[in-house]
Amino acid sequence: MRGGNQRVEEHADGEWVVRRLTGSSSTKTYRCPGCDHEIRPATPHVVAWPLEGREEDRRHWHTACWSARERRGPTPGRGRR
């Protein structure tokens, strides 16, 4: 995955690797686990996974949903592709 800035963020539920993708680097449709809506190609968004996680733990989030996730949390069972 290219085209984004990656860093480790600390949240109440642990440390997360967070990569912010630009619209030009986003070429597939994903489902956001925060709102259960599609993230369309060419839409800037966030990819996040637990610091100690695996590649299949990555989830694509709308940027606003990622920012609000501690208040809302993910929709159970959603966001997997």
Amino acid at 60: H
Is residue 7 within a helix (H) or strand (E), and if so which, with residue range?
A: strand 4-11
Token duo for residue 29: 């449709």
Q: pTM, whole model, 2 decimals?
A: 0.79
Query: Which sequence spans correspond to the domains of the chain?
Result: 4-71
For residue 32, the Cα-to-chain-centroid distance in whole angstroms is: 7
More confident residue, 4 or 36: 36
71 touches 13 (CB < 8 A):
no
What's the pLDDT tens digit per position in 22-70?
888 888 999 999 999 999 999 999 999 999 999 899 999 999 999 998 8
